[in-house]
Amino acid sequence: MKISEKNRKSIRRKLTAISIILFTWMLAIAYTLQQSTAYSDGANGTWYSWEENESVDGTQSQANMESNPEAEEPPERQTQPDTSAAESERETGSAQPPAEPENSAASGTQTVAPPEKPPAVPGRTLEDKYGDLSGSTQGYEAVRQRINGNVLTLDIFVNFTGSYMMTLEGKTYAALAKEGFMLWQGEFSGSKYDFEQDMRFSVRVNIHDIYNGAGARSGQNYFNFHCVNASERGFTNYGVGFYDRAYLGTSQGAIPYRNYTNGAIVMYNRLGSLYTANQYIKVSAHEFGHVLGLGDQYGKGLPHTAEIPLAGSGKRYIEGDIMGGHGYVTPNDIEMALEAYVTDDYQAFVNDGYEKRSGAIKGY
């Protein structure tokens, strides 16, 4: 059939209109797909791609993240941290140092994470307050502290001697002692008394244990944990009011008993009656506080405060500061331990003879 020129023009106009509609529809679909894989930082209008971790215009998003530290991941993208490894470390006493971030510079690529929520107090982390502690560390200390951001790591080098293979409730004395050391690990918050208000920080504990000196690292100091099958009050062997972290595990410094090294914990398994496993753990944690440079809280006539809680009647080994009622480790204990490490000086709860009250105490 022959089509007239007039009909041809009409058909061309209709086809053109249909093409324009299809093209517009395709653009709308592409824009919608782009929106579903990106999010805005809410401050400067820049969009970030979850899959590629870069802005839509192809540039890395690092600068924008630094200029907008408050930006958070959308709720549907937030995930809970995997704590299974940390729980395993608590149970075995074999905590490992945090893994170093992988350096991908060699491959010519850079991975940039989406913006994360900053610390509760921007610009005030443990590292801001104390540095990384490398200036206070010689590298051979029996207890070595280091800071990265808001994470404090304690590397504990301990040599078990004596009756460490004896058991309480199915666990050896050495295993119970290490559980006591691990009570210093955890998540903590600052307050008007300690560090900064609402500052959140972590303490990680790594235990490097040897037995009767076997396998000691060359040049490394170890403090002794001497287990005794007898009834007596345990103690840590250095002069009250005197502390020197470099002398821990050596024969130097103010040592009351020359048959033990500086900072040695002498741990008995009973005081009158045999300890329970929980009591052995708590006393071990208390004595380790002395190794860190802290004095005793009990017997000082101190008031009960939010900074330094006391144990209630009949609540010893359950409530109260670990340095008093053998209850739990407080943020104040951590602050005093840091002060001892940085100043290389004993940290007491009150002025009493050779003991000088710690500057970390502010509540009374």
pLDDT tens-digit series, residues 309-337: 988 888 889 999 999 999 999 999 999 99
Torsion of CA 52, 53, 57, 63, to 10 degrees: -160
Q: What is the mean pLDDT of residues 77-82?
A: 39
Q: What is the pLDDT of residue 274?
A: 96
Beta strands in the chain (DSSP E): 38-40, 47-49, 143-148, 151-162, 167-168, 171-172, 186-189, 200-211, 223-231, 235-236, 265-271, 273-274
Q: What is the mean pLDDT of residues 346-363?
A: 91
Q: What is the pLDDT of residue 167?
A: 97
If one counts every other C-beta atom within 10 angstroms of the C-beta of residue 240, the result is 17
DSSP single-letter state for residue 106: G
pLDDT at 102 over 50: no
Using CA atoms, how far apart are residues 326 and 177, in angstroms rounded to an integer? Answer: 14
Q: What is the pLDDT of residue 34?
A: 54
Q: What is the pLDDT of residue 236?
A: 97
Q: What is the pLDDT of residue 321?
A: 95
Upper half-sphere CA count for residue 331 (Cβ side, 13 Å): 22
- What is the value of pTM for the model shown? 0.67
- Name the pLDDT band for 307 (thresholds 50, 70, 90): confident
